[in-house]
A = this chain, B = another copy of it.
């Protein structure tokens, strides 16, 4: 129903909302969210371009959330990576339905509207620290920023 990309984007945003202020480099996010790092890189770039994250290069760089998590909705995240296409005009281009969707497409679009509303009402901030609930995505809070296992380059000649 939701694409992988959306799922990954939401995971990354939830993680970064939790780590506010300290830039998190891609491999660390990838580990915490269990998303393939190389693909995550693409998703993160979309989130930067959507204005939800800032990318900071160089040592001690990484990604940092661009605004207060309380002001970012799940809808904002969705829009940044894969905008929902609401049904505005008849998908069959029938003349008589131009201004007035047929009951089927009205029903479908109503469902989309409901989804849109649900996600617009949920902020990243709300997901954090809900008592009685597990912490988002991660078994422990603020994992130490340490080097991950040094993966041997496959280019080991000389």
Contacts and interface: CB of A to CB of B under 8 A. Distances in A.
A104 B1 contact: no
Interface in A67-105: 74, 84-85, 91-97, 100-104
Given A1-B84, A111-B115, A139 B103 contact: no
B127 A118 contact: no
Contacts of A10: 104, 108
A76 to B, nearest CB: 14
The residue among A1, A33, A111, A115 with the most chain B CB atoms within 10 A of its own CB is A1
Contact of A139 (B33, B94, B128, B139): B94
Interface string A119-153: 10010001110100111111100000000000000
Contacts of A134: 94, 96-97, 100-102
Contacts of A97: 134
A4 to B, nearest CB: 10
Query: What is the oligomeric copy number?
Result: 2
Counting contact residues on chain A (CB < 8 A from B), the size range is: 35 or more
A97 B92 CA distance: 44
Given A118-B111, A118-B114, A106 B133 contact: yes
Interface in A3-33: 7, 10-11, 14, 33
A118 B107 CA distance: 9
Contacts of A33: 92
Contacts of A107: 74, 122, 127
